[in-house]
């Protein structure tokens, strides 16, 4: 069969690739993206569980395993299966880049209209995939799994996660009970527009909701780990905290950042005025200037000015930026070539 | 080596120059033994432009030599980039313009490239002064601590690089030294091999304070690029909140002391320190937020992963890796 080629635009990485039309014409309805990292024992059971859960034939699908630079034979195991089943697609990273980049790669390469992401450690149950997909069909933009009966260590996993979810819910106003659950389903045109970097996958529901997406959260099964080691240590709350502050700033304030930074500078401006008046008053009263009071006025005044300038700068960044937080879900239609 | 169809050899002349013709001949004879065509590219930085005439008489035997001049002094990274642009083979070797390693040994790097994307030389055994060795050791310990890269001699200019590394990793300013670290971060296999240090590289080198300061700043730049590029607030916010906390504590204690012990606030210079910390902390956090905003609005251009291979996507792996398609479909 002669290969016919076309160009495919990857919105997420802003790249165009040559794609074989023969493979494209058979574009599946569903893409299951699974980042795997040192999971050689889990690969085969995982593949079988996913295929059997999708085997009723109602949906055409592809499974994308993203090997995040495993040091064991994960890729070899997956390759053996992929040679027999071309619905299993593999992406191999050059080295370990982390879970979010792995998901981002899977999403960039996925061809399906609906994309489901899940963990590679068999703690998510592939039998839930169809339930999630059903909700997408009922009109949700994003369906989040909730591990309501979580089988993990209490101290090192569940409590930090509880705190993080509570915080994320409070700050973003989107009370998702389980942001950390990897089992999620998305409309492909939506998720391909979300900038995914660092550990942003945790904030997809919050960001999507702020941008007006319709979110459903449904209970999913969760299993204890059978093979391999857990990849996380004690959750790093401080990272979540700082990420949360930046997400909040980006999503809620960046369109009027001058006002926001201006607000931030108000306390300093007030302090500057108080100390300045104090310094003047003492000078008039005693006839000598007290350096401490004058210095305080200068420091606070400088701080307030600096913050105002920061506001101007971020207005500029927002105006010239390629991505605006509010516009990635604005249209329901996937307009690949429009955004540059 | 039969699978190497040719090597482009780049010799940037930017800082020092040794007995160049004899050095060049040493390199030439060593690489000639590899048995593939060679393309020599000598890039002269602005201040060495007067050597161009002299260089034209270099004898490359059957291989080609190109002499290029930068219009003014741009530094080593610019010289290397110019050389990379001119290089026509897929294997690129950079060599120092003065005696760093024994010229006879440079061909050893070619053997290492079979299993790696980049081979860098480490001058070993070393023949230079204790002082140089010690400062080198300290420098690399800091690098390992900051970036986790295990290299022991990134100052050595002798490197053998596959073209695909240079297509993804770019250096500018004074970052050429850190090319192995940046390549390592992108997931390329970088190996270090020992080449004997040239006996003429033994002179005690003492640099001015600006050189060391410059290096330290470069190091901080690379550290930041390596660790916090995508999450500037984690860095700025951490430093900022420590400062804010310290400042708030100082202010709180002095206010308490005023009301409990009756110490007048106006007599306490420590108030200045406390409020300075507080303001500085807020400023750093604000800068971190601006960084986050920059990253977010450019997130589409920053691809955070590097794909080695894909299977069953209907596209040949090689084609995907080598494709430099830039048209768009709009």
Q: What is the pLDDT of residues A41-79, one digit of tens each?
A: 889 999 999 999 988 877 889 999 999 999 999 999 999
Give the span between the Cα atoms of B9 and B27, in whole angstroms. 9
Tokens representing B310? 């894909």
Q: What is the average pLDDT across A139-153?
A: 86
Give the span between the Cα atoms of A42 and A54, in whole angstroms. 18
Shared domain check, B106 and B49? yes
pTM: 0.77
User: Does residue B71 fall inside a structural domain?
Assistant: yes
Give the span between the Cα atoms of B20 and B26, in whole angstroms. 10
Contact yes or no for A310 and B286 at CB 8 A: yes
User: Considering only residues 97 to 136 of chain A, which have any Cβ-Cβ distance to chain B shorter than 8 Å?
Assistant: 97, 100-102, 104-105, 109
Contacts of B258 (CB under 8 A, 6+ apart): B264, B265
The 8-class DSSP code of residue A287 comes to S
Return the closest-CA partner of residue A208 out of A129, A113, A325.
Answer: A325
Chain A residues with CB inside 8 Å of B295's CB? 197
Shared domain check, B170 and B104? yes
- What pLDDT, in 10s, does the model give residues B147-167? 888 898 888 889 999 998 998
How does residue A332 score in pLDDT terms, banded at 50, 70 and 90?
A: very low
The C-alpha of A139 sits at a distance from chain B's nearest C-alpha, in angstroms, of 27
Chain B residues with CB inside 8 Å of A236's CB? none
Tokens representing B4? 């190497």
The 8-class DSSP code of residue A156 comes to I
Return the closest-CA partner of residue B92 out of B180, B24, B163.
Answer: B163
pLDDT for A135 equals 92
Please tell me the total number of residues recorded for chain B in this structure.
Answer: 330
pLDDT for B200 equals 76
User: Does residue B15 fall inside a structural domain?
Assistant: yes
Return the closest-CA partner of residue B199 out of B23, B15, B33.
Answer: B23
Chosen for mutation from A27, A94, A279 (greatest number of chain B CBs closer than 10 Å) is A94
**B71-74 contacts at long range (C-beta below 8 A, 24 or more positions apart):** B71/B46, B72/B46, B73/B14, B73/B45, B73/B46, B73/B47, B74/B45, B74/B46
Residue A282 pLDDT exceeds 60: yes
Give the span between the Cα atoms of A126 and A119, in whole angstroms. 10
Residue A198 pLDDT exceeds 90: no
Element (H, E) at A63: strand A61-67
Q: Give the distance from CA B63 to its chain's centroid.
A: 29
Q: What is the average pLDDT across A26-53?
A: 90
What's the CATH fold of domain A5-235? Spore Coat Polysaccharide Biosynthesis Protein SpsA; Chain A (3.90.550)
Is A236 touching B (CB cutoff 8 A)? no
The C-alpha of A274 sits at a distance from chain B's nearest C-alpha, in angstroms, of 13
Contact yes or no for A198 and B297 at CB 8 A: no
pLDDT for B187 equals 87
pLDDT for B93 equals 94
Please tell me the total number of residues recorded for chain A in this structure.
Answer: 340
Tokens representing A151? 């089988």
Residue A31 pLDDT exceeds 70: yes
**Bridge-based pairing state of the strands A15-20 and A5-10:** antiparallel
Shared domain check, B239 and B191? no
Domains in chain B, number: 2
Give the span between the Cα atoms of A243 and A254, in whole angstroms. 15
How does residue A1 score in pLDDT terms, banded at 50, 70 and 90?
A: very low
**How high is the mean pLDDT of chain B?**
85
B91 phi and psi angles, rounded to 5 deg: -115, 125
Tokens representing A149? 């009966």
Label residues B198-210 b or e (16+ Cβ within 10 Å = b): beebeeeeeeeee
User: Does residue B323 fall inside a structural domain?
Assistant: no
How does residue B328 score in pLDDT terms, banded at 50, 70 and 90?
A: very low
Contact yes or no for B286 and A337 at CB 8 A: no
Report the first-to-last Cα separation within chain B, whole angstroms: 45
Give the span between the Cα atoms of A67 and A95, in whole angstroms. 9
Contact yes or no for A325 and B296 at CB 8 A: yes
Q: What is the average pLDDT across B185-204?
A: 84
User: Does residue B2 fall inside a structural domain?
Assistant: no
Distances (CA, A) of A14 to A17, A113, A188, B9, B283: 10, 19, 16, 34, 33
User: Do the beta carbons of residue B195 and residue B132 sit within 8 Å?
Assistant: no
Q: What is the average pLDDT across B177-190?
A: 89
Distances (CA, A) of B270 to A200, B210, B260: 41, 33, 17
Is A308 touching B (CB cutoff 8 A)? no
Q: What is the average pLDDT across B160-175?
A: 87
> Could you tell me where the beta strands, DSSP code E, fall in A168-256?
184-187, 215-219
Return the closest-CA partner of residue A199 out of B211, B311, B304.
Answer: B304
Give the span between the Cα atoms of B93 and B193, in whole angstroms. 14
User: Do the beta carbons of residue B63 and residue B38 sit within 8 Å?
Assistant: yes
pLDDT for A214 equals 87
In this predicted complex, what is the ipTM? Answer: 0.79
- What pLDDT, in 10s, does the model give residues B98-133? 888 888 899 989 988 888 999 999 988 888 888 888
Region for B176 from its dihedrals, namely left if φ exceeds 0, alpha if ψ lies in -120 to 50, beta otherwise: alpha
Contact yes or no for B271 and A292 at CB 8 A: yes
User: Do the beta carbons of residue A61 and residue A32 sit within 8 Å?
Assistant: yes
Chain A residues with CB inside 8 Å of B330's CB? 9, 336-338, 340
- What pLDDT, in 10s, does the model give residues B257-310? 988 988 877 778 899 999 999 999 999 999 999 999 888 888 777 778 888 888
User: Does residue B30 fall inside a structural domain?
Assistant: yes
pLDDT for A32 equals 95
The Cβ-side half-sphere exposure at B273, using a 13 Å CA radius, reads 8
Shared domain check, B185 and B283? no
Q: What is the average pLDDT across B205-216?
A: 78
Q: What range defines the domain where residue B180 resides?
A: 7-228
Q: What is the average pLDDT across B303-322?
A: 68
Contact yes or no for A109 and B233 at CB 8 A: no
Q: What is the average pLDDT across A188-194?
A: 83
User: Do the beta carbons of residue A35 and residue A63 sit within 8 Å?
Assistant: no
Give the span between the Cα atoms of A37 and A65, in whole angstroms. 10
- Only one residue has tokens 């240079």, namely B166
Chain B residues with CB inside 8 Å of A321's CB? 293-294, 296-298
pLDDT for B267 equals 79
Distances (CA, A) of B211 to B128, B143, B178, B217: 19, 17, 16, 10
Give the span between the Cα atoms of A217 and A40, in whole angstroms. 31
Region for A32 from its dihedrals, namely left if φ exceeds 0, alpha if ψ lies in -120 to 50, beta otherwise: beta
Shared domain check, B217 and B252? no
**How high is the mean pLDDT of chain A?**
82
Shared domain check, B274 and B147? no
Contact yes or no for B238 and A325 at CB 8 A: no
Residue A328 pLDDT exceeds 80: no
Residue A253 pLDDT exceeds 60: yes
Domain limits, chain A: 5-235, 253-322
User: Considering only residues 130 to 189 of chain A, which have any Cβ-Cβ distance to chain B shorter than 8 Å?
Assistant: none
User: Do the beta carbons of residue B9 and residue B95 sit within 8 Å?
Assistant: yes
Give the span between the Cα atoms of A29 and A27, in whole angstroms. 7
Report the first-to-last Cα separation within chain A, whole angstroms: 35
Of A34-48, A235-249, B16-30, the least confident: A235-249
pLDDT for A97 equals 87
Shared domain check, B109 and B255? no
pLDDT for A228 equals 60
Shared domain check, B238 and B173? no
Return the closest-CA partner of residue A230 out of A107, A110, A99.
Answer: A99
């Amino acid at each position: 069969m002669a290969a016919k080629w076309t160009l495919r635009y990857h919105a997420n990485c802003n790249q165009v690739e040559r794609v074989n039309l023969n493979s494209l014409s058979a574009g599946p309805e569903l893409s299951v993206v699974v980042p795997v990292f040192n999971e050689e024992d889990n690969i085969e059971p995982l593949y079988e569980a996913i295929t059997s859960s999708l085997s009723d034939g109602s949906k055409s699908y592809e499974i994308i395993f993203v090997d995040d630079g495993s040091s064991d034979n994960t890729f070899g195991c997956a390759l053996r299966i992929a040679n027999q089943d071309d619905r299993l697609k593999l992406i191999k990273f050059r080295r370990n880049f982390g879970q979010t980049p792995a998901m981002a790669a899977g999403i960039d390469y996925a061809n399906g209209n609906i994309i489901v992401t899940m963990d590679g450690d068999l703690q998510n149950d592939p039998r839930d995939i169809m339930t999630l997909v059903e909700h997408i069909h009922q009109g949700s933009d994003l369906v989040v799994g909730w591990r309501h009966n979580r089988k993990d260590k209490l101290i090192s996993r569940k409590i930090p996660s509880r705190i993080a979810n509570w915080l994320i819910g409070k700050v973003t106003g989107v009370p998702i009970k389980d942001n950390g659950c990897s089992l999620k389903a998305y409309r492909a045109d939506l998720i391909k527009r979300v900038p995914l970097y660092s550990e942003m996958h945790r904030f997809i529901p919050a960001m999507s909701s702020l941008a007006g997406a319709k979110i459903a959260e449904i209970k999913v099964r969760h299993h204890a780990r059978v093979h391999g080691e857990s990849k996380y240590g004690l959750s790093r709350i401080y990272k979540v905290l700082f990420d949360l502050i930046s997400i909040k700033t980006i999503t809620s304030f960046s369109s009027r950042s001058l006002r926001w930074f201006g607000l931030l500078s108000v306390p300093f401006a007030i302090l500057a005025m108080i100390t300045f008046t104090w310094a003047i008053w003492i000078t008039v009263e005693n006839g000598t200037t007290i350096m401490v009071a004058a210095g305080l006025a200068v420091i606070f005044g400088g701080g307030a000015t600096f913050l105002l300038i920061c506001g101007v700068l971020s207005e500029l960044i927002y105006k010239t930026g390629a991505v605006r937080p509010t516009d990635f879900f604005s249209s329901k239609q996937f307009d690949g070539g429009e955004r540059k | 080596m039969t699978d190497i169809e040719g090597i482009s050899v780049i010799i940037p002349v930017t800082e020092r120059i040794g007995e160049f013709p004899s050095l060049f001949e040493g390199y030439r004879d060593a690489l000639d033994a590899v048995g593939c065509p060679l393309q020599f590219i000598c890039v002269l930085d602005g201040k060495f432009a007067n050597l161009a005439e002299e260089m034209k008489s270099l004898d490359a035997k059957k291989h080609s030599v190109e002499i290029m001049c930068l219009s003014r002094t741009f530094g080593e990274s610019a010289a290397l980039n110019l050389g990379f642009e001119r290089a026509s083979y897929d294997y690129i070797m950079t060599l120092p313009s003065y005696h760093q390693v024994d010229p006879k040994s440079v061909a050893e790097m070619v053997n290492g490239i079979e299993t790696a994307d980049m081979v860098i030389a480490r001058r070993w055994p070393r023949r230079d002064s204790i002082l140089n060795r010690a400062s080198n050791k300290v420098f690399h310990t800091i690098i390992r601590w900051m970036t986790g890269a295990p290299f022991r001699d990134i100052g050595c200019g002798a490197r053998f690089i596959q073209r695909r590394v240079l297509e993804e990793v770019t250096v500018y300013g004074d970052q050429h030294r850190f090319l192995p670290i940046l390549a390592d971060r992108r997931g390329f296999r970088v190996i270090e091999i020992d080449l004997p240090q040239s006996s003429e590289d033994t002179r005690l080198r003492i640099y001015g304070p600006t050189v060391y300061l410059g290096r330290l700043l470069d190091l901080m730049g690379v550290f930041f690029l390596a660790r916090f590029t995508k999450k500037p607030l984690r860095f700025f916010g951490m430093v900022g909140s420590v400062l804010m906390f310290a400042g708030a504590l100082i202010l709180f204690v002095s206010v308490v002391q005023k009301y409990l012990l009756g110490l007048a606030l106006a007599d306490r210079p420590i108030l200045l320190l406390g409020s300075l910390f507080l303001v500085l902390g807020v400023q750093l956090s604000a800068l971190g937020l601006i960084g986050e905003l920059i990253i977010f609005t450019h997130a589409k251009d920053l691809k955070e992963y590097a794909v080695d291979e894909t299977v069953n996507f209907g596209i040949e792996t090689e084609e995907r890796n080598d494709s430099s398609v830039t048209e768009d479909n709009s």
